[in-house]
Amino acid sequence: MARWDINPGAVNRVLSATYDAGQEIEDALNGGTGDVPTGLYDTVENLHTPSQSTIVFNALAGFLDDRSAAISEIVTQIIGVMKGTVSACNAISAGHTQMAAKIQTQMSQACDTGNFDPFVKP
């Protein structure tokens, strides 16, 4: 069996940085917190007023509609990889190397197929 050499602190730093980057993307799309519209979705929504261009609104809304599935897929993949990483690290830390190897295999398959359901579905 292969030897596992995991540094939990380093893994935690990588996962935290990944989460922070994901939060930046979410804030850019949704506007973060507060009453001032700052996100892309809020900005597009505010374009649809009588004084603004309907053409610009329709173009941006169409673009976002077209890309929403891809954005959702990216988010699902990030969540799946993070949860799989945590599961594998926990298994290794607990001495369950066979379980960690199984999780590693499942993660590789998920990356190959794009199906991260085992890691994101309850």
Predicted local distance difference test score (pLDDT) of residue 35: 54
Using one digit for the tens of pLDDT, what is the confidence trace for 28-55?
A: 776 655 555 466 766 666 666 666 677 8
Contact 40, 64 (CB under 8 A): yes
Domain boundaries, the chain: 9-120
Neighbours of 105 (CB within 10 A): 10
| pLDDT range class, residue 86, cuts 50, 70, 90 | confident
Predicted local distance difference test score (pLDDT) of residue 1: 47
* Spatial CA neighbour of 60 closest among 42, 76, 33, 78: 42
Q: What phi and psi, each to the nearest 5 degrees, are found at residue 7?
A: -110, 100
Predicted local distance difference test score (pLDDT) of residue 92: 84
Neighbours of 43 (CB within 10 A): 12
| pLDDT range class, residue 4, cuts 50, 70, 90 | low
32-36-37-38 Cα dihedral, nearest 10 degrees: -60
Predicted local distance difference test score (pLDDT) of residue 88: 85
* Cβ within 8 Å of residue 84, ≥6 positions away: 103, 106, 107, 110, 116, 119
Using one digit for the tens of pLDDT, what is the confidence trace for 54-83?
A: 787 788 778 878 877 887 788 788 888 888
Q: Three-state DSSP class for 62?
A: helix
